[in-house]
Amino acid sequence: GENVEQHPSTLSVQEGDSAVIKCTYSDSASNYFPWYKQELGKGPQLIIDIRSNVGEKKDQRIAVTLNKTAKHFSLHITETQPEDSAVYFCAASKFGTGNQFYFGTGTSLTVIP
Amino acid sequence: NAGVTQTPKFRILKIGQSMTLQCTQDMNHNYMYWYRQDPGMGLKLIYYSVGAGITDKGEVPNGYNVSRSTTEDFPLRLELAAPSQTSVYFCASSYLGGQGNQPQHFGDGTRLSIL
């Protein structure tokens, strides 16, 4: 099956700086890549996603890039704020598999005021 | 707008006891999922369902059972609780869309300890 690796496992940045989280996947047939944010005591919440026919997608301070050749995708958060502190998960999926997601192991982001 | 609702939020079980974790969604989604989340391990798929009456094993199904008699409900059953099943359990749902795979929507989890 699919194997998704995520780095780093922890990340600390100063408020206002940028944060980048990287994921790699193994199955070249994967074509949907969501990112989730999980706050303490809550379930994961979708923050952005990208499909394999697109190389980059942006939503205000959040962007995701995808390199299909290298089989990696990244989450970029600019102008970080304390409320961005959370655990972030990447995932990979391919059509026709019951919409199964394969998750990375998570990145704990701390934004220092 | 409830989304995905999980009950209970917390539970402590003794080894060998059984229990059912409840999950219901009000978004009329076809697909539903159960995950477990262990520290530093991400989310692992236990079982999933693509519609009422249809269930399939995920990555870590041993020790669990599921059923899907309605579109809305997808309960997870632990028959003989073991310490290795101490975890946080998340239920999720998604719909089948024309563009391909769709986001999964998660509940807030059930924190289960087995002593």
Whether residue B93 contacts residue B25, with contact meaning beta carbons closer than 8 Å, is answered with yes
Q: Scan residues 16-75 of B and list those with Cβ closer than 8 Å to A.
A: 31, 33, 40-45, 48, 50, 56, 58-59
Query: Measured between alpha carbons, how far is residue A93 from residues A99, B98, B110 in Å?
Result: 7, 15, 25
The 10s digit of each residue's pLDDT in B18-54 is 999 999 999 999 999 999 999 878 899 999 999 999 9
Is residue A50 very low, low, confident or very high in pLDDT (cuts 50, 70, 90)? very high
How far is residue A99 CA from its own chain's centroid?
17
A1 touches chain B (CB under 8 A): yes
Cα(A82)–Cα(A71) distance, integer angstroms: 31
Average pLDDT of the segment spanning A9-35: 97
Whether residue B14 contacts residue B37, with contact meaning beta carbons closer than 8 Å, is answered with no
Cα(A83)–Cα(A109) distance, integer angstroms: 10
B1 touches chain A (CB under 8 A): no
Do the Cβ atoms of A99 and B31 come within 8 Å?
A: yes
Chain A residue closest in CA terms to B40: A105
Cα(A80)–Cα(A62) distance, integer angstroms: 10
Cα(A25)–Cα(A103) distance, integer angstroms: 10
Q: Scan residues 75-94 of B and list those with Cβ closer than 8 Å to A.
A: 90, 92, 94
Average pLDDT of the segment spanning B97-102: 75
